[in-house]
Structure 1
Amino acid sequence: MTQNDTSHLTMLGRPTAQPESPDTAVLERVANPHPGKLYCVRFTAPEFTSLCPMTGQPDFAHLVIDYVPRDWLVESKSLKLYLTSFRNHGAFHESCTVEIAARLQRELEPVWIRIGGYWYPRGGIPIDVFWQSGAAPTDVWIPAQEVPGYRGRG
């Protein structure tokens, strides 16, 4: 497969059904067009939703995913569908956040990856969840996530 070959992609440019769950969602990848160069890729999902596993009530988060690719990039439509597959998935904030990063790490095998899950309050307490695969590479610019902590209406 050449670095510009997209013939293996099954979702891009086609109508695609919403996956039933994160377990059934397919993450597709494309070859990194700049292998050997270190650079940061950022995805922001400011309207991420999942369900509380105890009450079934919706939970909302602002996710920021940063990664330094090695051989692969995640195809963005498949990532969007994967993230939206959590809408009917019951799991705690910590589980959702770390599960997303672990899946991306497994599928892409990046040089480095981190996720910030900035969850809106339930029960009066916001829960922010952060995970990264290790120390960030020193020779690549990785901007701060700069998502402000929840401060209510005041």
Structure 2
Amino acid sequence: MKRAVLISGVTAFALALSAGVVAAKGGHGGKGGPRMTFEQLDLNGDGQVTKEELAAQATARFNEADTNGDGNLSAEELAAASERAKEERIARMIEKRDENGDGELSQAEMQPNEDRANKMFERLDDNGDGVISAEEFAEMKGKRKGKRGDKGENDQG
């Protein structure tokens, strides 16, 4: 029993720590994971985030997902938590992009920000010739793979 509590605590701490790093960078938890602001992590409002605050945040998130309160997360509880997170991401996306306020996103509202799209294109177009070659695309894919720690398509793991 102590081992299970310890493992749960370490896992919760790791989740909170990664959320803290993401929040500090102003991003999200990858693949649409949770967005946590610094203020949400700074539970006592002193302008600093401690390991204890990260652990408390992780414990709260774990307990929220543990709907039956047994101290374990079943596949059903994890799926439900994932579904809630997905619904929250969708709601944020609609709120952010729904220019006419109809609660739906048109094709025009779904178009990427032109400045951001241009910057992305320029990053991919290494030689600045106005086109992205297969080599430039593969190079960027390799760089992203290294940053994310992904395994190659032929790797087994």
Q: In which range does the TM-score fall when normalised by the shorter chain? A: under 0.3
Higher relative contact order (CA 8 A, sep 6+): 1
More helix by share: 2
Q: Which has the higher strand share?
A: 1
TM-score (norm 1): 0.23
Structure-2-length-normalised TM-score: 0.23
